[in-house]
Amino acid sequence: MPTKDANAEPSFRTMIQVDMEIASFLSNWAHCDYISSYLARTISHNRPDSVLFSNLFSSALNELLEVTFRTRHSGGALECRLSRHGETDRIELTFACGQEERTFLEDAVARVQGVDRQARYLSSLSGDVAPSRDMMLLELTVNYNATLRLEEVDADTVTIVVDLGGLAN
């Protein structure tokens, strides 16, 4: 697994970062919606199609926050950083979690790269009553062309890195 400083891409400029205690994030489901709507609006002003961009970005970020919400955490903080390089917008969500959850996330991220992702997405849609966290991540690649990876920050902290390119084009 790559470590944090493998991410030496100085050209990504941080737009905004929000940190909160995991415990307070988890205290209300509506936080996913509030945070994604607020952040999307904040970073969309200088995108050509600001309203469309904001709506799409909010959709993608909300799914990620919902996945995070459904992850078993081991306390600490949730860090949400948004940065940008040209047409690409990057979301980084950093939080602490146990080995089991980490393995799950690693596998999930590896699976979304698969060539059969479209088919797996469709079969989940027609088969499952509710989407699994896997499917939520997969959906980002299928519908938003996102690329995902997982970074290890330290022994029990990970970062999910999601790049979204040319969202409103």
Partner 1 sequence: MTAHLSPTGTVGRFKAHFDLNNQEFSIAGSVRPQTIDELAPSLALLKESIDNVRGVLYINVRRLAQMNNTAFHAFSRVIIDACRVRPELRFVVITSSVVGWTTRKFGRLSKIEPSISVEEYDSEFYPGQSFLEEGGFIPILRTQTKMTWRHERSILPRHGMRPGIVMADICCGIGDFAVLAQKEFEPARIVALDHSKSSLAYARKVASEFDITGIEYTYGDASEMLLDDDQFDLVTCRHSLQIFNRPAQILKELYRICKPGGRVYITNEKNSHCLGEPRAESIRWTYNEVAKLFEHFDMDVELGPKSRRYLADAGFDDIRVESFMVTNLDGDPKDFADMISAWEDVYAGDMAVKRGDSEEFIKQFRQGFKDHISAALHPKGYAGWPIWAASGQKPL
Q: Which residues bind partner 1 (CB under 8 A)?
A: 29-30, 32-33, 45-46, 48-52, 55-56, 58-59, 62-63, 66, 121-122, 124-126, 128-131, 135-136, 139, 142-144, 168
The helix (run of H) or strand (run of E) holding residue 86 is none
Q: Using alpha carbons, list the distances in angstroms from residue 88 to 61, 64, 124, 128.
A: 14, 17, 28, 32
Nearer to partner 1, 138 or 157 (CB): 138
Report in angstroms how near the CB of residue 129 gets to partner 1 at its nearest. 6
Report in angstroms how near the CB of residue 136 gets to partner 1 at its nearest. 5
47 phi and psi angles, rounded to 5 deg: -95, 145
76 phi and psi angles, rounded to 5 deg: 85, -150
Nearer to partner 1, 12 or 121 (CB): 121
Report in angstroms how near the CB of residue 9 gets to partner 1 at its nearest. 26
* Residue 86 to residue 68: CA distance in whole angstroms: 27
